[in-house]
Structure 1
Amino acid sequence: MRKTLATFRTLALTGALALAAVTVPAPALAVGEGPNYDGNGQITTSKLATYDQMVAFLKDQDARQPAMELEVIGQTVKGRDIHLVKYISDPAKPTILYLTQQHGNEQLTTEGALEFVKHLGTGKSGDILDGVNILVVPMLNADGAMGDVNFSLEDYIAKGDRNMTRYNANEVDLNRDHVAKVQPETQALHNNVMRKYQVDYMIDLHHQGTRSERDGKLVSGSILYPTTPNADPAVVEKSKQLGAVVFDNVDSTGWGHLGKYVGGSAETISRNGIAVEYGIATLLFEMRGMSDHYLDGYALGLRSNGYLIKQTVTTLTATAAAIADGSIADADTSFWDSLATQTSRPGEEADDE
């Protein structure tokens, strides 16, 4: 099983580029000084998968992949089906959940998750599914992703394309609804995933602004474990191990550069609330830059898309492989003691998971 990790590292470095269908720039554009929007140029969303395109892709993969099952776990405010991709062969095996797009304007993690699903259908992925169950919610906030909401988006940057918003159609931040669970999207996640399946690990994938840095260098992303004092220390340690796998596989690439995220202790946030309520390891991963926003410092130009999608694929494949072969138990969490908390350059508001 040890060879599984190496195989998936290779897939992570190559497969995402086919999905992105763009010419990949020099690595500096993923973690260097650009390409920030800063009120210049154009932010476009037309190259990102629509909800309907995502659903068509998932149904096609479901028909092609014997190990995959596609389940509808609920509906959004506007009535769109919310999908769960399942690879469950033995409930006794450890299970990891990958959650994307709680915020509708944070889509590159979804693009990477779809590429990861495609990889799991190849002959090269057989070994990994022998050792782990995998769940993927690839677009929790489909209404926000499609700009189909009950409030104005006139201030958003993507002009001439569909706008994408952080909030759901009711203008509610889904990642502040993990205690009250009022919104239908959050209810679907908790009632039909968290309470239905025995999940052991979860990675909640988001995007942050463009100007966060570590050690004077712009980051490609940032990570954080549960920080609520109510989390079981054993759960926090497992969460730190999950982060160690991500850090080791992304920060070592040359194009990846990760910081420690600045996050609060509120349990309304999934990273904290889910760790406490269900006793599972959780990790937040914040990718650099958003697909659309009303603040210039948050949206990122298209030239970084290939690397950020690749970063998502690397994150998913490396963690699944480490759980599958058991190497996650040996992950060294001491790096957290020296990992610098990222800071924001002038002109950017504080990041908000």
Structure 2
Amino acid sequence: MRRHHTALAAVTAVATAIGLNVGGVAAADPTTVPNGPWVNDAQHVSLERLHTYDELTDALHRLESRSQGRVDLSSLGTTHEGRDIWYAEVGSGPTRLLYVTQQHGNEPLGTEAALQVLQQLGTSNAAWVRDMLDDITVGVVVRANPDGTERFQRQNVDPDCTGNFCAPGVGYDINRFHDPALDPADNPVPEAAAIQAHVREWQPDITVDYHHQGSYVADDGSLITTSILWPTHTDVDPAVVTASKQVAVTVFDTVSAYGHGEVSLYPGSDLAGIARNSFGLQGSASLLVELRGGIGQKSSGYLIRQAYVAMMAVAQAAADGTLSEVDPSRADEIPPRGPFVPGEE
């Protein structure tokens, strides 16, 4: 595939300059071995570098204060255990870009990257940041599943859950309860209901949902660092699919060109309740981003870097209008995901 990446040089320079450090979360050395390290069953993977709910709450409030009014922090609602579902917004432009992170509590690095995006956009006085925020408004659901995160589990916390997509005694899979046909007031999953109510009110032009998958390899044996997919539900407007593919190509180019990234197509389903499809059905260009699983203490640093740079590249392309110039047909050339690596998840 031809690789043209929007504003990548500027974004990469920013990532290097700030060291990707928010609230004490330091990134790995940029010379980390490409596509490594491999994580085995015996390896201890520390979660100390990740924000707990209380730490995240404190970091967001500090950022709101430091931003001097640029970052607006609010709660979209509360979980079964009473934790806030934090939402941060920055910018005043007409194009609305929404990031959603950590619907699954054990998929954490999109949240860490989003914090750094908010730090950059909320506190930098660089001219390019000011220009960007005149053209777009960036909203972030910062950790959609705070209860599940505290237990480092996929589901939310609802031991009384029943029916489809319920793990008995544990909770629901949030990312199956976004069907636009389901009224938020009737949604049994408070986290999904809060996100859907916000999407209906705010009507984002672009949404990107960050997750983790297991560890997979490409044809040459290198670890896939990111897999992506646009809406695949048959009722999504073709124009929305086209716009979504333009976002996909932007992410593909950015990650492929930075940090030894290896990008593949994610083999997702067409369920309307999946956020990627739901956002598309509601008229928003939409993309799922699945970061590599099996994260170790070194590999998490470069995965955060790649997620951050991809987020910033989409924001820049949406702001300067170059996103609409991307050839969407190139998305169909993104290589399929390779085989799963046992013991790496």
TM-score range, shorter chain: 0.7 to 0.9
Paired residues for 1:1-353 under 5 Å: 6-19=9-22, 20-21=25-26, 23-24=28-29, 26-29=31-34, 31-32=35-36, 34-36=37-39, 38-65=40-67, 66-90=69-93, 93-120=94-121, 121-124=123-126, 125-147=129-151, 164-170=152-158, 171-179=171-179, 180=182, 181-191=187-197, 193-276=198-281, 278-289=282-293, 299-345=294-340, 347=342
> In the superposition, relative to structure 1, how do residues 17 and 133 fare at CA in structure 2: closer, same or farther (>3 Å)?
closer
Q: Which runs of 5+ in 1 are unaligned?
A: 148-163, 290-298
Deviation of 1:14 (Å): 4.2
> In the superposition, relative to structure 1, how do residues 73 and 254 fare at CA in structure 2: closer, same or farther (>3 Å)?
closer
1:218 aligned counterpart, secondary structure: coil
1:286 aligned counterpart, secondary structure: strand
> In the superposition, relative to structure 1, how do residues 239 and 281 fare at CA in structure 2: closer, same or farther (>3 Å)?
same
The answer to whether the Cα contact below 8 Å between 2:114 and 2:140 also exists between their aligned partners in 1 is yes
Deviation of 1:144 (Å): 0.6
The answer to whether the Cα contact below 8 Å between 1:214 and 1:343 also exists between their aligned partners in 2 is yes
Distance in 2 of aligned mates of 1:6 and 1:28:
21
**Counterpart amino acid of 1:264?**
S
Deviation of 1:105 (Å): 0.6
Distance in 2 of aligned mates of 1:104 and 1:222:
19
Distance in 1 of aligned mates of 2:6 and 2:157:
44
The answer to whether the Cα contact below 8 Å between 2:95 and 2:318 also exists between their aligned partners in 1 is yes
> In the superposition, relative to structure 1, how do residues 254 and 214 fare at CA in structure 2: closer, same or farther (>3 Å)?
farther
Distance in 1 of aligned mates of 2:300 and 2:246:
27
Deviations, residues 82-124 of structure 1 (Å, cap 9, x unaligned): 111012425xx11000000000111111001001110012112
Deviation of 1:221 (Å): 0.7
1:195 aligned counterpart, secondary structure: helix
* RMSD of aligned residue pairs (Cα, Å): 2.1
Deviation of 1:18 (Å): 2.7
The answer to whether the Cα contact below 8 Å between 1:16 and 1:313 also exists between their aligned partners in 2 is no
TM-score by length of 1: 0.84
2:288 aligned counterpart, secondary structure: strand
> What does residue 161 of structure 2 align with?
none
Distance in 1 of aligned mates of 2:145 and 2:279:
18
**Counterpart amino acid of 1:80?**
R
TM-score by length of 2: 0.86
The answer to whether the Cα contact below 8 Å between 1:259 and 1:339 also exists between their aligned partners in 2 is yes
The answer to whether the Cα contact below 8 Å between 1:12 and 1:317 also exists between their aligned partners in 2 is no
